[in-house]
């Protein structure tokens, strides 16, 4: 209810406004109240600046360029070592292959005469081939002492044998001990037994085989190879030729006179 206010000093007996005047006054009062309400709800003309609370990100403002939020970096577990590259271990260019004699692992053999190639590094191995005079070869390996050298067998690609590196007819170019040490099997021993009553010998090597009655001196271990059998009792008369291989057990049953014998078991 709206109370009527009167200015101080106004006469108390002043005439009150009529019904029409009171309607106008009420209308003006309503308009005034609405104007005040609209003024309170008006949007400010300036652009408000938003502020961020501590620990938060301020909202984007008009005209700002949007940026990507990076993914969080995962840290390695404690105690994990980060691998690093050693610059000295990186290749600086393609490797240059060379066949010059004298370099590490490059050993050339020149044969000044015929030389046997054996199955293993020693005279107890079978002869598998031979190098002819004037031939050359590349050594592929060595034994522990560097006395025997592993080479490819002549005319047999991919097959390897051994030559004696101390042979006087062999010329070596390069450092033998720079070669890798090659593996090999043990040799299988071979034996020759004399079953005659004469003293026999094998050449080369002058391996003497005593008569049967003097056993066990009538049986000797020999290296693989070719031997001439001579009868020492008959003045070194030639009897026969033997071909000995690894693991062989050969018997001689004929002397220089042609007499035949039977070997006891």
Domain end position, chosen among 178, 201, 223: 178
31-40, 92-101, 133-142: range with lowest mean pLDDT: 92-101
Q: Is the pLDDT of residue 43 over 90?
A: no
pLDDT at 19 (0 to 100): 53
Q: Is residue 2 in some structural domain?
A: no
Same domain assignment for residues 164 and 116: yes
233 touches 201 (CB < 8 A): no
Q: Is residue 113 in some structural domain?
A: yes
Calculate the alpha carbon distances from 196 to 215, 231, 248, 254, 255 in Å: 11, 10, 19, 6, 6
pLDDT at 14 (0 to 100): 46
Domain end position, chosen among 148, 178, 208: 178
Calculate the alpha carbon distances from 246 to 30, 119, 149 in Å: 134, 10, 20
Same domain assignment for residues 201 and 228: yes
152 touches 162 (CB < 8 A): no
Same domain assignment for residues 172 and 233: no
Report how far residue 174's alpha carbon sits from residue 105's, in angstroms, rounded to the nearest whole number.
8
Cis, bond preceding 216 (omega within 30 deg of 0): yes
Backbone torsions φ then ψ of 213, nearest 5 degrees: -65, -15
Query: Which neighbouring-strand residues pair with 117?
Result: 129
What percentage of the chain carries pLDDT values higher than 70? 60
Tell me the residue range of the domain where 219 lies: 190-252
State pTM to two decimals: 0.57
Banded pLDDT at 71 (limits 50, 70, 90): very low
pLDDT at 265 (0 to 100): 83
Across residues 212-216, what is the average pLDDT? 96
For residues 9 and 260, which has the higher predicted lDDT (pLDDT)?
Answer: 260
Same domain assignment for residues 161 and 201: no
Same domain assignment for residues 148 and 168: yes
Q: Is residue 37 in some structural domain?
A: no
Q: How many domains does the chain have?
A: 2
Same domain assignment for residues 207 and 146: no
Report how far residue 63's alpha carbon sits from residue 83's, in angstroms, rounded to the nearest whole number.
45
Q: At 169, which CATH number?
A: 2.30.30.40
pLDDT at 80 (0 to 100): 36
Same domain assignment for residues 194 and 174: no
Backbone torsions φ then ψ of 35, nearest 5 degrees: -65, -40
Residue 162 burial class via C-beta count within 10 angstroms: exposed 0-12, middle 13-18, buried 19 and up: buried
Q: Is the pLDDT of residue 229 over 80?
A: yes
Report how far residue 226's alpha carbon sits from residue 220's, in angstroms, rounded to the nearest whole number.
15
Report how far residue 66's alpha carbon sits from residue 51's, in angstroms, rounded to the nearest whole number.
18
Task: State which H helix or E strand residue 250 sits in.
Answer: strand 249-252
Banded pLDDT at 129 (limits 50, 70, 90): very high
Q: What is the mean pLDDT of the chain?
A: 76
């Amino acid at each position: 209810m709206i109370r009527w206010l009167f200015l101080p000093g106004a006469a108390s007996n002043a005439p009150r406004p009529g019904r029409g005047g009171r309607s106008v006054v009420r209308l003006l009062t309503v308009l005034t109240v609405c104007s005040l309400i609209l003024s309170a709800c008006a949007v400010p003309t300036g652009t408000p600046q938003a502020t961020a609370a501590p620990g938060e990100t301020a909202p984007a403002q008009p005209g700002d360029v949007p940026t990507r939020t990076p993914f969080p970096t995962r840290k390695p577990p404690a105690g994990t070592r980060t691998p690093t590259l050693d610059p000295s271990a990186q290749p600086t260019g393609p490797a240059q292959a060379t066949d010059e004699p004298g370099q590490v692992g490059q050993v050339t053999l020149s044969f000044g005469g015929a030389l046997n190639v054996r199955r293993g590094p020693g005279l107890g191995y079978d002869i598998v081939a031979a190098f002819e005079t004037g031939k050359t070869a590349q050594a592929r390996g060595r034994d522990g002492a560097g006395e025997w050298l592993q080479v490819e067998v002549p005319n047999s690609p991919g097959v390897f044998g051994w030559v004696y590196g101390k042979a006087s007819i062999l010329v070596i170019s390069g450092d033998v001990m720079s070669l890798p040490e090659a593996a090999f099997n043990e040799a299988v021993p071979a034996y020759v037994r004399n079953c005659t009553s004469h003293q026999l010998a094998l050449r080369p090597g002058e391996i003497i085989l005593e008569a049967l009655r003097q056993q066990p001196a009538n049986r000797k271990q020999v290296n693989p190879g070719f031997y001439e059998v001579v009868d020492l009792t008959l003045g070194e008369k030639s009897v026969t030729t033997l071909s000995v291989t690894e693991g062989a057990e050969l018997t001689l049953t004929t002397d220089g006179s042609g007499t035949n014998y039977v070997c006891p078991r």
